[in-house]
Homo-oligomer: A and B are copies of this chain.
C-alpha cells in the first residue's frame, strides 16, 4: 500500500487527481488531496473510498511535516514559491517530490542532498515545461542516432480556446492562472538566433512575434520565453546556432496586449492611488498624456493603434464608465479582474493546447526540417486540455516511480529516455500524440 500526497487541488490538478484515482485501486494506492480549501479537495476525490481530502496550509509546519511523513510520494501543485519548503521536508523524510514548475536555482541546489537521500525531485514534468521537454528530447535523440547534426531548434506552446468555442475578438480564454497571463513575459527574453545572442526587453516582446502555422489549425503568433539559453545544454544542443522557446497566441492578440504593456498597465509593483473611485476609463486615462480629446482618439495618437486592436480593447471593457470597485490594487490586478470576467472559459467551453517544435538539421549533407506538432482539445471546462497535459505526465511519472521503474535520484528534469519513452507512450492513450512532418529546405 503506497501513499500519494497531492498538494493543491486547483484548476490544473483535475486531470492529475482523476488519473491517480482511476489507477489507485489497481495499484493499491492511498491518495490524499490537500488544499487550502477542504471543499475543493473534497470535490476532487468524490466517490473514492481510498482517497482522503484535507484542508491544508503549507505555512503550517506541523501539518506539512505530518502529512508528508505519511506519504511515499508528494506531488506539489502549489504556487512555485512554496516548492522549496515542501522539498526541504521531503529531503528530511526521504520522500519523492514531483512538480510541473520550473526548477529554480534553489531547487537545483538540492541535487546532492536528494541523491544522498535516494529520492527523486522531478521538476518541470507538466506541459510547458514538461511535454515540451519529453517530446523535444525524444526527437533530438532520434535525429542524432541516425547521424543528423541539429543546427536550429525552436519550440512554441500555447494554452488557447478550441476553435468551436472561440467567440471573442482576442481569440483567447484563460485555462490556467490568470495572474500569469497578465504578468507573462516580464523580465528580459534571451535566445540564440543564427549564432547571435538576442535580448528583448519586456516592452518590445509583444511587437516581435513570429508567425507559426499548425496544419489544420491555422495561424498563430509566437513570442519568445524568458530564458531559452539554459536548455541548450539540458537538451544536448550546445552546437545549435538557433535555440528559442516561446508562447503561442492567435494573430492580433499580441498587438492588442502590447497596448497595456506600452501604457504600463501590467505593472504589479505599486498600488494605484484612489482606485476605489476610478472607472476603467479613468484607469487607462492615467497612462495617457493629458488631452482634451476623447480617450480612444488620445490612445490612437499616442500609440498608433489599429482599429482591430481598439475593438479588442473596447470589448474588454477598458473604456467603460464602470467602477473598478477595489481598494489597494496594482494595475496588473485591475487587468486581471477584467480578463477573469471577459476571458472566462464558460461551462461547456473547451480549451486547446498547441505545441510545435521545429528542428533544422543536416543529414548526409542535406539540409532538412522536422516539424513535430501537438494539438489537444479539452473535454470541458474542468477536464481541460491544460489540466490533462499538465497533470497526466506527472501522474504517469508518479506511477512509474512507485512501481520502481525509475532508478533516477537527485533533482531531475524529464529529458532522459527512462522517462520520455514510457510517459509519451502512455500519453498517446489519452490522445496526446505528436504529428511529425519532414522536408528538405
User: Given the known A-B contacts A270-B188, A270-B190, are A290 and B196 also in contact in the complex, defined by CB atoms under 8 Å?
Assistant: yes
**Closest CB of chain B to A328's CB: distance in Å?**
14
How many residues in A have their beta carbons less than 8 Å from beta carbons of B?
A: 31
A263 in the interface (beta carbon within 8 A): yes
Interface 1/0 per residue, A263-292 and B, CB below 8 Å? 110010110111000000010011101100
B290 touches A204 (CB 8 A): no
Chain B residues with CB below 8 A from A198, complex form = 286-287, 290
Asked if B290 and A194 sit within 8 Å, CB to CB, the answer is: yes
Verify A285–B199 contact, CB threshold 8 A: no
A193: chain B residues at CB < 8 Å are: 290
Q: Are A200 and B273 in contact (CB under 8 A)?
A: no
Q: State whether B273 touches A229 (Cβ < 8 A).
A: yes
Asked if A430 is at the interface of the complex by the 8 Å CB criterion, the answer is no
**Stoichiometry (number of copies):** 2
> Residues 288-309 of chain A: 1 if any B CB is under 8 Å from the residue's CB, otherwise 0?
0110000000000000000000
> Which residue of chain B has the shortest Cβ distance to A272 in the bound complex?
B197
User: What would 20 more interface pairs be, CB under 8 Å, given A196-B282, A201-B267, A204-B264?
Assistant: A187-B269, A188-B267, A188-B270, A190-B270, A196-B286, A196-B290, A197-B272, A197-B273, A197-B286, A198-B286, A198-B287, A199-B267, A199-B286, A199-B331, A200-B264, A201-B203, A201-B262, A201-B264, A203-B203, A229-B273
- By a beta-carbon cutoff of 8 Å, the part of chain A in contact with chain B is 187-188, 190, 193-194, 196-201, 203-204, 208, 229, 262-264, 267, 269-270, 272-274, 282, 285-287, 289-290, 331
Return 17 A-B CB contacts under 8 Å, by A number.
A188-B270, A193-B290, A196-B282, A196-B290, A197-B273, A197-B286, A198-B290, A199-B267, A199-B286, A199-B287, A199-B331, A200-B287, A201-B262, A201-B263, A201-B264, A203-B203, A229-B273
